[in-house]
Amino acid sequence: MKKEYNFSKGKRGPVIQPDPNKVRITIRLDADIVDYFKEQVHKAGGGNYQTMINSALRQYIDKTQEPMNEETLRRVIREELRAVH
């Protein structure tokens, strides 16, 4: 190893820029939930538990969102008309 290194041309920050669609937040999850996802990553032979949590949340949203079809639209209109009268 050298006694001194020249960092005069070094840059601060991550080597790979983070995805601009990702948002850094602080969130408190139950320990057993985090442990579950970490265990799933371990069983899969690697990966990222945060990505797995994101995927699970996205699947939940996709399953619970009601598609906007004619029946849904008619129901919403009826509910709104009842609220006005």
pLDDT at 10: 87
For 68, the domain range is: 31-84
In a domain, 22, yes or no: no
CA 50 to centroid of chain Cα atoms: 7
- Tokens coding 11: 């840059």
Question: Is-contact 29 49, C-beta < 8 A?
Answer: no
The token duo for 66 is 């009601």
Longest dimension (CA), the chain: 83
Say if 62 falls within a structural domain. Answer: yes
Give the tens place of pLDDT for each residue, 29-76.
999 999 999 999 999 999 999 999 999 999 998 888 877 788 888 988
**Residue 16 domain-assigned (yes or no):** no
How many structural domains comprise the chain? 1
For residues 1 and 14, which has the higher predicted lDDT (pLDDT)? 1
51: in domain = yes
Report yes or no on whether pTM surpasses 0.75: no
**11 occurs within a structural domain:** no
How far apart are alpha carbons 38 and 47 in whole angstroms? 9
| 53 belongs to a structural domain | yes
